[in-house]
Structure 1
Amino acid sequence: MTASILANQDRTRASAESPPSTSSDLMLRDIIKTLPREVFLKNRRKAWSKLAINVLLVGLGYWGLAISPWFLLPVLWIFTGTALTGFFVIGHDCGHRSFANRKWVNNLVGHLMFLPLIYPFHSWRIMHNRHHKHTNKLDVDNAWNPLTVERHQNTENPLRWAYEKIRGRFWWVGSIGHWAMYHFDWSQLEGKERKQMRFSALLVIIAGAIAFPLLIATTGIWGFVKFWVLPWLVYHFWMSTFTIVHHTHPEIPFNRSEQWNELEAQLYGTVHCTYPRWVEFLCHDINVHIPHHISTAIPWYNLRKAHQAIEDRWGEKLNEKKFSWSLMQEITDTCHLYDDETFYRAFE
């Protein structure tokens, strides 16, 4: 995939220097042509060294949990859970084949990174690639797709109650619901994809069936909560927060299929959000997210350079935010139900 992008860039670089001036004239490949060639190149040293650092940091977090007094545990849960989110981001690159050149290496590393999170790698990879293909397409995108007013009113009470909570102040558990509802049901797929999803799902189920009883037997119920449940909840807090912020804002629309435009969704419907530097470091710059939606072939360590190139050329209309409670309040107070004219309508 990377080689074809680079070859296409070389053939068309001259014409891309002066792209059409209006977004209606542009296509996604026009944006790709303007990016520096080197942002698509994989760097084996960077990929493997950061993986090793990430493993060491997660190990440091668990070592701290084992020896620290009770009053330091909240800090260590936050640190360890955030470092585990880094595991997910490395597996995320593996799912896009941007970690290594060989498919089997991406599959192996992806499964290993996802295993401590009890997350089936292939099912996530398949579902997530659909999100990239249909970003912010109403009723097709599988990431934070808003209900229409009619669907919300016709939803059974328990599900409607859960939807209202997750679109509000309980957004931070949304990733858990997505994980449980979508990633273990291989009957929704066919052929090779079904086999791959079943393999990944059974792998993490078997791993959990072995690891969790051993952890409880050796550390007790409190040890299970301390060493796995609470770091896992921190990881899902970040997953929920990152993903809702990536494409959700009162100014960013979901669109019906007949109105959906690929360029508008990927370039202007994706949010670049700045988090504290320690979060950016532990989570491998995954929130430098616009270039990732321009091309999934860009490895995480090249996202900032790619973003700078995009910002220099298209920056006037890019959605750039800074993570804060006021941002989350704005999203969770407003972005509830789909509206054709105002993009979102609040429950009230």
Structure 2
Amino acid sequence: MGAGGRMPAPVTGGEVQKKNPLERVPYSKPPFTVGDLKKAIPPHCFQRSLIHSFSYVIYDLFIVYLLYHIATSYFHLLPSPYSYLAWPLYWIAQGCVCTGVWVIAHECGHHAFSDYQWLDDTVGLVLHSALLVPYFSWKYSHRRHHSNTGSLERDEVFVPKPKSKMGWYSKYLNNPPGRVLTLGVTLTLGWPLYLAFNVSGRPYDRFACHYDPHGPIYNDRERLQIYISDAGVIAASYVLYRVALAKGLAWLVCVYGVPLLVVNGFLVLITFLQHTHPALPHYDSTEWDWLRGALATVDRDYGILNKVFHNITDTHVAHHLFSTMPHYHAMEATKAIKPILGEYYEFDGTPFYKAMWREAKECLYVEPDESTSGKGVFWYKNKY
């Protein structure tokens, strides 16, 4: 299985990179193994430094506090036209920095923060709870995403549908106003809807919810930690409730609520663009294997936000191959494996806002190509 894909260009030691990012990646089984890729990466890239990891936490939280201090101490002193401009700038900046905090907590869930699992889980639980994320709940569903990336039956998030299973209303949204509506709902409500109702997630035989310890997402060994996740979100919500009583709801919305919407929007956008691209295949059970699934993701360029987001955006291929690697080594690892990956490596430097619109237009459902031998290989299409 897997034979018949477009043959990759031979790798001769130099870096091979497709000139056109929309050209499909090969879908045949790669001529390299995970072991080959690991050997190409300097050994220190797999080492987790507690001090190094905590330095990013401290730095990010310092910037969060600095932005908060400036907003609450000085914005009211600005003349009215400037104060109305200052708050949106604060919301965007604070939301971006808090997205970086979110990424560090995500790294804790992968045991990439330190050599101590209990410490990773403690840091991740605190940081994610502060952002109203059920840490363990998402950790386990996200782990299954990494185990089944690119699988139409078993992947956990942004699982594309075949044309036959698209809703009747889909073709009426395939236009600019429909895309604006779809993207608006996805970026604002997509994350809470996924957590609460498994929207855009894989289908289960019964109702699935990240807050339900006895739901089908989790096994018996994981259920106690789901209760802990729920307790973390409840505790954070109670703190926010007390703050609202003391400072007022409007104050809380301005200082915390709107930046959190920015965090949630970027989280959904980053995940969507990492796994949605015209050049990337998806596989059914007749074709899927872990390595080809892990390679069915794309590195993107978010400009200066790459650093703010701790390079989760432009080193995502390496992250899927070696998820316990700390983010501060991922760029070096990416450069080391690109010559081996050759045409199997997908990078798209299209500005993320343009890519968002293009993917929302071009990537509506998946179907196999009639002209190819890989009937279990599915590609994004948009024609109704």
Whether TM-score is above 0.5 comes out as yes
Match of 1:11 in 2: none
Tell me which residue corresponds to 1:205.
234
CA drift of 1:211 comes to: 1.7
> What is the CA distance between 1:324 and its match in structure 2?
3.3
1:70 is aligned to 2:97: no
Who is 2:379 aligned against? 343
| Kept after mapping to 1: 8 A contact 2:179/2:361 | no
Shift of 1:53: 0.3
The residue that corresponds to 1:5 in the other structure is none
- The partner residue of 1:190 within 219, 225, 234 is 219
Q: Which of 299, 309, 316 pairs up with 2:326?
A: 299
Amino acid corresponding to residue 117 of structure 1 in structure 2: L
- Whether 2:194 is the aligned partner of 1:178: answer yes
Q: Which amino acid aligns with 1:282?
A: V
Cα 1:168/1:319, change in 2 over 3 Å: farther
Q: How does 1:160-309 map to 2 (within 5 A)?
A: 168-170=182-184, 171-173=186-188, 174-181=190-197, 182-188=209-215, 189-208=218-237, 210-267=238-295, 269-277=296-304, 279-287=305-313, 288-309=315-336
CA deviations over 1:52-95 (Å, ceiling 9, x no partner)? 00110111122233132332011110111111111111111111
Partner of 2:128: 114
TM-score by length of 2: 0.77
Q: Distance in 2 between matches of 1:251 and 1:331?
A: 11
Residue ranges of structure 2 left out of the alignment (5+ in a row): 1-12, 14-27, 76-82, 171-177, 198-208, 370-377
Matched, 1:316 2:352: no
Give, in whole Å, the separation in 2 of the partners of 1:228 and 1:334. Answer: 35
TM-aligned CA deviation for residue 149 of structure 1: 2.4
Contact 2:179 2:360 in 1 (8 A): no
For the residue of structure 1 that corresponds to 2:166, the secondary structure is: helix
Which region of structure 1 is more displaced relative to structure 2, 186-195 or 22-31? 22-31
Is the 8 Å Cα contact of residues 183 and 201 (structure 1) preserved in structure 2? no
Q: How many residues align?
A: 318
Structure 1 residues 319 and 25, CA gap change in structure 2 (3 angstroms): closer
Structure 1 counterpart SS, 2:380: strand
The reply on whether 1:29 has 2:38 as its aligned counterpart is no
Distance of 1:262 and 1:282 partners within structure 2:
30
Q: Deviations over 1:101-133 (max 9, x none)?
A: 111101110011112211011011101100000
TM-score by length of 1: 0.85
Instruction: Report the secondary structure of 2:248's partner residue.
Output: helix
Residues 231-287 of structure 1 deviation map (CA, whole Å, 9 limit, x = unaligned)? 0110011101110111110111221122113222212x111111122x122211111
Q: Sort the Cα spacing of 1:165 and 1:119 in 2 relative to 1 into closer, same or farther, 3 A.
A: farther
Residue 13 (structure 1) aligns with: none
CA RMSD of aligned residues (A): 2.3
Q: Distance in 2 between matches of 1:290 and 1:24?
A: 15
| Aligned counterparts of 1:261 and 1:166: Cα–Cα separation in 2 | 35
Which range is displaced more, 167-176 or 86-95? 167-176
Of residues 195-204 and 128-137 in structure 1, the stretch that sits farther from structure 2 once superposed is 195-204
Encode CA deviations 1:122-165: one digit per residue, 9 max, x unaligned: 01110110000000110311121112223224899xxxxxxx86
Matched-pair contact (CA < 8 Å) for 1:86–1:284 = yes
Q: Pairwise mapping of residues 5-16 of structure 1 onto structure 2 (< 5 A)?
A: none
Q: 1:196 to 1:293 in 2, by over 3 A?
A: same
Residues 100 and 106 in structure 1, CA contact (< 8 A), matched pair in contact too? yes
Counterpart residue number, 1:102: 116
Q: Among 23, 30, 46, which residue is 1:40 paired with?
A: 46
Is residue 2:129 matched to residue 1:93?
Answer: no
Q: Distance in 1 between matches of 2:214 and 2:346?
A: 37
Bigger relative contact order (CA 8 A; separation at least 6): 2
Higher mean alpha-carbon deviation, 303-312 vs 30-39, is at 30-39
Residue 57 in 1 paired to residue 86 in 2? no
Distance in structure 2 (CA, Å) of the matches to 1:78 and 1:317: 35
List 4+ stretches of structure 1 deviating above 3 A: 22-27, 153-156, 164-168
Distance, in Å, in 1 between the alignment partners of 2:212 and 2:382 is 32
Residue type of the alignment partner of 1:126: Y
Higher helix share: 1
Would the aligned equivalents of 1:167 and 1:336 in 2 still touch at CA under 8 Å? no
- Partners of 1:321 and 1:25 lie apart in 2 by 23
> Does the 8 A contact of 2:37 with 2:340 survive in 1?
no
Q: Gapped runs of 5+ residues in structure 1?
A: 1-16, 157-163
Higher mean alpha-carbon deviation, 140-149 vs 237-246, is at: 140-149
Instruction: Compute the displacement of 1:30 (Å).
Output: 3.0
Residue aligning to 2:19: none
